[in-house]
Chain A
Amino acid sequence: MEKGHVGRVREVRDLLPLTPAVLHILLALADKERHGYGIMREVEGRTGGQTRLGPGTLYGSIKRMLADGLIEESDERPDPAMDDQRRRYYRITDFGMRVAGAEAERLSGLLETARARKLLRGRGPSLPEGV
């Protein structure tokens, strides 16, 4: 359970399924703290340019994720080369890690179903391109 900024106690399952934007942001923050532009770059790079978060989608998601306790602002400035007073850094919380893991397991279950019904080209344990 986690208490978000709005004071409600939330369970992991209450937040599932995540929107694609929220899941991408959690994945981007899973290994290190990043600022908004860093999150955008990581998502674009990881998806080979297929997913580009606009500033509105990015900060709309961040606002909700802060309220839900999935991420938090960081006081540290891990990227001094790109430092700016306006730039805020975000990091994933333990609750955010649990929610991201639960969503990944949910998607993995869907993938297994799709594979069992021969909807995927790949037949082995590895995923086909683009998945």
Chain B
Amino acid sequence: MSRSERVYRVLLKVYPGEFRREYGPQMEQVFGDLYREAYERGGRRGIALLWALTIWQGRRWRRGSGLAQTMRR
């Protein structure tokens, strides 16, 4: 497991516990896929872009455009 994947595992703690227990392993799996793809496409630059996108999407999610939006009903 790469350092990025280990860091991502820690960052998953921002998600609610129940959601993290149910989907955390899958999210780790997907991030690992994205990591390998980003590295193959762009090396370190690709990894930097992946992290920028991940942080941006995580902040949007926290502000309510993620789970809160999809769970609004």
Contacts and interface: CB of A to CB of B under 8 A. Distances in A.
Contact of B19 (A21, A36, A60): A60
B5 interface: no
Main SS class of interface, A: helix
Contact of A55 (B30, B60, B73): B30
Interface in A38-87: 40, 52, 54-64, 68, 84, 86-87
Interface residues of B, number: 26
A60 B26 contact: no
A24 B67 CA distance: 16
A37 B33 contact: yes
A126 interface: no
A115 interface: no
Given A58-B30, A86-B28, A64 B22 contact: no
A-B pairs, top 9 by smallest CB distance, nearest first, are A54-B57, A60-B67, A59-B23, A55-B27, A56-B61, A86-B25, A37-B33, A61-B70, A86-B29
Interface of A: 14-15, 19, 21-22, 36-37, 40, 52, 54-64, 68, 84, 86-88
Interface of B: 15, 19, 22-23, 25-31, 33-34, 53-54, 57-58, 60-61, 65-67, 69-71, 73
